[in-house]
Structure 1
Amino acid sequence: MPEIYEPNALDREFDEFWTKVNCFAVMDFPYDQRCEFVRNANNCIQGTNFVPYMHLLACDFKCRNVFQEHIFVSLFLILCFELLLFLSNVAHYYYTPALKVVSRMLHMNEHLAGVTIMALGNTLPDLFANMWAIYDDTAVFANCLSSALFVTMFTGGLVCYISPFRMSAYDTVRDLLFFMFGVMLLEYIIITEESVTIAECILMMTVYVIYLIVNVIDVYIIKRNLKFEYRVFCELGPENMNYKVGNERVTIEMEANRHITYRRAPSKNHRLFREFFSAILLIKLNEWRQATMLLRAFYIARAPVVFLSVLYIPLVDYELKKNGWSKLLNCIQIFLNPAFTITMGKAMVFRDRSMLWYYNIPYDFKYGLYSLVVTVPIAIVVFFHSNTSAPTPYHWMFTIMKLTGSMILTFQCLTEKSLITDVLGHMLKVSADFMGATVKFIANSLSMRK
């Protein structure tokens, strides 16, 4: 009777090889064997967001030498530049104004909104990107520190050089001390133990909560002191009632911008289509005429980004004429934005790990169609109730779609750009830690910090 062979640990390791191996290990294989490796390695599918870069190089483009690889590196750099334009456009025209609208809705002053809404909103894309890579061999802590150093030192120093201003000594020292204490606390926890416990996580989050409480107390004390000084001036005499502090801050007249073009039009749809095509115009004609050749090339490269952003994300900005209102475009976005968001969200969250997530969109599109039952009637009601000359009183509700749309596009761009830098790093034999601490987060900071 033949002896039954029992698999040992080495056999089990070989059986699990394709489920555990990193896709970038293909760079160590001969060129004629790379396509088979990419097709068998699970990580080549699971580690892909939109573009399967390693599959393109090994199977579709069939790179057979270093020269061909460097040619496709240039193509990937062009794609990375386009993603930077996408990030910059979404952050500047949609994401940051949406956070400003939210802060005004919550009746926060600029300082309190900066340390709460703006700080949380600016870091959410990085938070999602880091959580996405939490199970990869990525130096998340080092990358976050490098990003914070770049924003604090380089960006802060550049702002001080371009536009010098007097910094509040107390606020600056307070914020720096909290920042230093938080970094030292996290570093101490990581060095002293192999893992971070739930209690230590709560402790680190408590530090930030204390920082917010201190800021709220500071704002309360400042307002109380201002009221006290106002009462003192009132008691001194009526001639001091018109006392003003120098260098007053200029405020945005929201109502003036809201009704700046209001007129008695022949109908509610006066110049409806002209306004619509003007809103989706990719390049402004007056800017194109005055631009140089280099700037025109920039406008052409940015055109696809502008087109996708304008169609998908509603524009709500109190600093613009009519607060960004465009009747026909906003009515289309009422049903287009939720349908696209639900379809994309369903495909990404509940995706099959054995295939690219966007292959599920044809099957998940029905969930987006279900939303049309609610959103289409709302769009019809808004269309007949609104006027082209001025935004509706509930125009601020478009901020919800603006925030969700901006966050989805930002997350996708950050994830794709992170994958591109990883591919470029492995192709150029540069370590992932170096790419993460330099190129990756410098690019994120340049495109996101507004």
Structure 2
Amino acid sequence: MMVRKAPDCQSIVQYLNYFDIMSCILKIDTPAVEILVMCAFICCVLIYVQITAIIVATYLTPVMKILSVKMHMNEYLAGITLLAFANSFPDMISNLLPIRAQSALYTRTISNCLVIVLLCGGMVCFLKPFKMDGHSTVRDLLFLLMAVELMSYIIHYDDRVSNIESIFLLIVYIIYLIIQVTDLILMRRTIRKLRTEITALRQQPISPARNEKLRNKMAILIDLESNEVMSIRKQDAHFMLHKRSSRLSSSSNIFSTSGRKFERGDVDYVSTRIVLHNKNNTKNQFLWNEFFEKFNPIYGKNWGMLNRCDRIILIARAPLVIITRMIVPEVNYELYKHGWSKLLNCMQIVTTPFFVITAVTSNFSKLYLTWRLSFNMRFACYSMIVTVPAAVFIFFDTRTDIPPPYHFIYICLNAASSFVIVFVCAAEIEVLTTIVGVVFDLSGNLMDITFGALINAILDMLAIYTMTMAGYEKMAFAAIFAGPFFSIIVGMGVPLYFNKKAHQPGSAHFLYGELGDNCYIFMMITVYSTLMWTLTLNFYSRRSVGIYCWVLLFIFLLYAFSIEAKLIHGFGKDPYFPPR
């Protein structure tokens, strides 16, 4: 009963009160039972990661592609804005949680950024070697370097962080966005100018000087046009099959970079919208068939071509797929009818706002019924006054063979529900990893820079892997540097503004943490070495670079565990008390 009455136990938990589950329901009284419960908690972490993977791959990634095309972005700008924000927003929210009020925020954030750059950056270089945009990559690395140095200076300047310094960090991020958008505008202006000059050169008499000049301008134009706009590309089902067969057939090319390119054509999303439309069909033709097909977790999968392991994974994921399907509407221009399912989408008009409002209001109310949060459905019920008539109107207004003109509105529901689910999963993972670390007598700093950073990087890696294998490796690589920049500048600036304890003198001690110097030094090594290999390789990524990133990550983790085991001394200074 003491667990239920202690305010600290309820302040750090989210939707499930794991302390109540451990002490009052399971009544752990032996170390063996405690270890079994911790294993169950680790399984819960894996389930939360799997839910996040489903949300990112099935719902968020297609929406980010659509928004990038509709907003006339190129891959690079989409990566540093949409993808970076989607990856880093849960980190910022978790930094606002009460459990992080007196945590080593600097150590946690820098270690997260370090692991993301090394793990995800190495993955992109290993899976899809490509030619990156040189000046954009260097600019992002320098901005990331500035963010690390600026945050270190602010924390140590007067031994605390003020509101003015937090606002200054947000201004820095606004300046960063202005520079990126201005760069895209100038690039497109240069493209238009080059096209005009090339047209004029082609009308001149043929000469060696004219041909050389024309050839140089066309080379520059082709290079710029490859980064001008973003399109929705077709998924290549044979790509992963080729990668798998090549790994099985030969192990000698693991460290080599293949020169073979896999070109994907662009999706004609106008055709995919109307491909099944026929005016002679009834408005509700195949209404129930397509509804049940959407809920079939193996629909569209070539079951006969899957091996036993893939089938087991597919069956294990089935309940999670069905649950997310009920809540999150799918908008995907690569699918027939853009993922439109009349009956399901009409149902989601009611269920999605109900879920989002209930999850948000319940989290703010913080009223617990023993082991779980009390669901506050008052405002969610009020939403049905609007959503139920809207669902009825959409049902009678739409057809089953073509999405309505206002199908784009479902993107708002998709984004809201996806971010809420990702936040819930990230918050529960945060609490569970903290509990596991306490039970196994691991320090909070070690948990933050090892297990916490790895789990956070895995969540980001899901989105980056999906984008990379879909042919958007430039977008993914841009987000690898822009995401950490967002996490340091905004992801720390906003929580530090609202954290009153960070404004007190001496708060720099707990903000920086015992392993802050370790994270800072390895972050500097990562940024400078990335600058070196990009300039050395003329901005061509290599598989060997991916291996190097993973080795550097292993060394960082090895240092962290060695310091925890007191085998070596950390880079930080020991506390010194002058004699009196």
Same fold (TM over 0.5): yes
Partner SS for 2:402: coil
8 Å CA contact 1:130, 1:140 repeated in 2: yes
User: Distance in 2 between the 1:368 and 1:66 partners?
Assistant: 43
Q: Which residue of 1 aligns with 2:299?
A: 284
Q: Deviations over 1:363-420 (max 9, x none)?
A: x323222222211111111111111111111101001111110011111000111111
Q: Which residue of 2 aligns with 1:70?
A: 35
Amino acid at match of 2:361: K
Q: Which residue of 1 aligns with 2:397?
A: 385
Q: Which residue of 2 aligns with 1:171?
A: 136
Deviates more, 1:378-387 or 1:272-281: 378-387
Partner SS for 1:394: helix
User: Distance in 2 between the 1:331 and 1:311 partners?
Assistant: 11
Amino acid at match of 1:387: R
8 Å CA contact 1:348, 1:357 repeated in 2: no
Distance 1:300 1:238, change over 3 A: farther
User: Distance in 1 between the 2:134 and 2:380 partners?
Assistant: 52
Q: Which runs of 5+ in 2 are unaligned?
A: 205-213, 232-264, 464-580
Q: Which has the higher contact order (CA 8 A, sep 6+)?
A: 2
Deviation (angstroms), 1:106: 2.9
8 Å CA contact 1:87, 1:448 repeated in 2: no
TM-score, normalised with respect to structure 2: 0.67
| Aligned residue among 267, 282, 292 for 1:252 | 267
Distance 1:185 1:310, change over 3 A: same
Distance 1:286 1:103, change over 3 A: closer
8 Å CA contact 2:274, 2:402 repeated in 1: yes
TM-score, normalised with respect to structure 1: 0.85
1:204 aligns with 2:219: no
| Aligned residue among 359, 366, 370 for 2:378 | 366
Q: Which residue of 2 aligns with 1:447?
A: 459
1:342 aligns with 2:357: yes
Amino acid at match of 1:312: I
1:120 aligns with 2:135: no
After superposition, where does 1:15-164 map in structure 2 within 5 Å?
A: 36-133=1-98, 135-164=100-129
8 Å CA contact 1:82, 1:302 repeated in 2: no
Deviation (angstroms), 1:245: 4.0
Amino acid at match of 1:324: G
Q: Deviations over 1:52-75 (max 9, x none)?
A: 222222222222221111111221
8 Å CA contact 1:45, 1:354 repeated in 2: no
Deviation (angstroms), 1:101: 2.8
| Aligned residue among 332, 352, 355 for 1:317 | 332
Deviation (angstroms), 1:269: 0.6
Deviation (angstroms), 1:270: 0.6
User: Identity of aligned pairs, percent?
Assistant: 30
Deviates more, 1:373-382 or 1:339-348: 339-348
User: Distance in 1 between the 2:281 and 2:127 partners?
Assistant: 49
Deviation (angstroms), 1:165: 0.8
Q: Which residue of 2 aligns with 1:295?
A: 310
Q: Which residue of 1 aligns with 2:445?
A: 433
Amino acid at match of 2:387: T
Deviates more, 1:131-140 or 1:387-396: 131-140
Q: How many residues align?
A: 410
Distance 1:134 1:183, change over 3 A: farther
8 Å CA contact 2:41, 2:432 repeated in 1: yes
Distance 1:214 1:358, change over 3 A: same
User: Distance in 2 between the 1:406 and 1:103 partners?
Assistant: 18
User: Distance in 2 between the 1:321 and 1:171 partners?
Assistant: 36
Deviation (angstroms), 1:340: 2.0
User: Distance in 2 between the 1:254 and 1:136 partners?
Assistant: 47
Partner SS for 1:319: coil
Amino acid at match of 2:394: V
Q: Which residue of 2 aligns with 1:331?
A: 346
Amino acid at match of 2:404: T
